[in-house]
Amino acid sequence: MGGDTALKNAMKVIDQIETDQQMNDRELAEAKSSAKTQLENYKNPADYRDAQREELAKAIEAGNQAIDKASEITGVHAAVKAAKEVIDAIKTDEQMSQEETIQKIVLDRTSVVLNKKGSVTLKAEIFPETAFNKNEVWSSSNPKVASVDKNGKVTAGEEGTANITVIAENGNITAVCKVTVTYQGAWKSNSRGWWYRYSDGTWPALSHGVFSERRKHPVLMFIIGNEIVYKFYEDEN
């Protein structure tokens, strides 16, 4: 009787010893369970928008299926890595908001000089290209000098300087171009002497004839912008 009992006890101990295959199966099962938990906790679904949250769930499910099919632990690890790469490509709400919001706006010119009645159309480039709202609002610091329309076309008015600003509706990002309006022209002569005429054929509005005290010559004095210009000439009449 005692021998039989000892034999039975020995057999029980032996049966409890895992075979190599049993050990591999257990370790594989544990690895799969751990891998699925890892994928489940890899990202927070609350960080995603509805559509991306659905993508996240599908990516996790596909990863779990790949884990189940793995016959070795190395296969489990490969399945987890592949699933994480897919998940990492799904953009969170914060990432999408950054891409949709204008980060920078750049004008093709930072300064420009315009002649009388001259015009130029400024072009704004918005970054990033994925920005959702690319609407622009244009304004002038001095519309009498330089006005601007909704398309960025700047038209010269009075002489002086003005800052043309473009602001992005999405992001409140701005860019500025300094506009200088200068009435350019040339000296023209006629029977009464030399006169300054603008390039569009008009003459300075503020002008006055005086005589030089020392040289006894008639002098034409007029204002071009903020400058007083004098010109000596011989009166032919």
Per residue in 47-80, pLDDT tens?
A: 999 999 999 999 999 999 999 999 999 999 999 9
pTM equals 0.56
Cβ neighbours for 107, distance < 8 A, ≥ 6 positions apart: 122, 123, 124, 125, 166, 175, 176, 177
Task: Name which of 10-14, 35-39, 168-172 the model is least confident about.
Answer: 10-14
Per residue in 101-126, pLDDT tens?
A: 888 999 999 999 998 889 999 999 99
Rounded to whole angstroms, how far apart are CA atoms 150 and 137?
Answer: 7
**pLDDT beyond 80 at 224:** no
**pLDDT beyond 70 at 232:** no
Q: Which amino acid is at 12?
A: K
Per residue in 172-200, pLDDT tens?
A: 899 999 999 988 766 666 666 666 666 66
